[in-house]
Amino acid sequence: MEKAGQTPKDIDLILGACGIPYQTLPATAPLVMQRLGFADGTAAAYDVNATCLSFLSAVELAASKLALGQASSVLVFAADIASRALPWEDQPEVAALFGDGAAAAVLTTADETGSGIAASLLRTYPSAYAACEIGAGGTRFDFHKDLEAFARHAVFHMDGKELFRVTHKHFPQFVDELLLKAGWDRRDIDLVVPHQASPLALEHMIRETGMDRDKVVDIGNTHGNQIAASLPTALDIAWRQGRIEPGMRVLLLGTSAGVTFGGMALEI
């Protein structure tokens, strides 16, 4: 907020975009609103959950609210403590992929003509719904009637082969559809900011989509997969490193549990 020159009096919508919330009920956004010192009734606050694509989905929603005149300034935050539920005993190779992190952005209407979202796209492939999950914490398992099952499903589980199958089959076409919607081809892209699912997944994405490796932000080996905070953390690091400048075309890409692919074409 300080970096954006904003105070609580300027912001009228707060969107929580955590893959895993602070607690099941209520949403995390009202808690953040409270701790930031917002006065009661001065803004709306609620959560958007699309697991690893929560930030991108919240930005898409924020853009719609801004375009419709239903908000003038939107705060979007993502914060995930992956280390709380990692399968170190059963899948240590999976657990080692993750990291904790937090990121936030303030969105307002663009001052310059031509800057903004050129295209946004989400597509879901629910055939692989169970390939990536934490089963406990909702209504699926009864804590009182089956504590053992609840505890067993309170850690993260991933079927890497199933996720690879879906991604290999559909992701290149998804990227083509997003670029067509934006009116871009791969030569138009100045920078690719992906969700840092894993080093292997990132290499697979570069190979399958034909992206220029030098234009891809890669922080997986240093920060890990920070769930919903992963993509905005990579975006912030690219900005701090001077890799994003006015006039550039930036492509955000990611995948999430469910399974969903997401992308956004930004004109800076």
Q: Which residues are catalytic?
A: 52, 195, 225
Q: Give the SS3 label for residue 120.
A: strand
**CA 117 to CA 119: how far, in whole Å?**
6
Q: Is 176 exposed, middle or buried (0-12, 13-18, 19+ CB in 10 A)?
A: middle
Residue 103's φ and ψ, nearest 5 degrees, are -155, 155
- Given a contact cutoff of 8 angstroms between Cβ atoms, the answer to whether 78 and 55 are in contact is yes
Q: Give the SS3 label for residue 19.
A: coil
Rounded to the nearest angstrom, the gap between the alpha carbon of residue 159 and the centroid of all alpha carbons in its chain is 20
Structure token digits, residue 99: 């990291």
**CA 267 to CA 182: how far, in whole Å?**
10
The candidate with the shortest Cα–Cα distance to 132, out of 164, 156, 152, 100, is 156
Rounded to the nearest angstrom, the gap between the alpha carbon of residue 72 and the centroid of all alpha carbons in its chain is 22
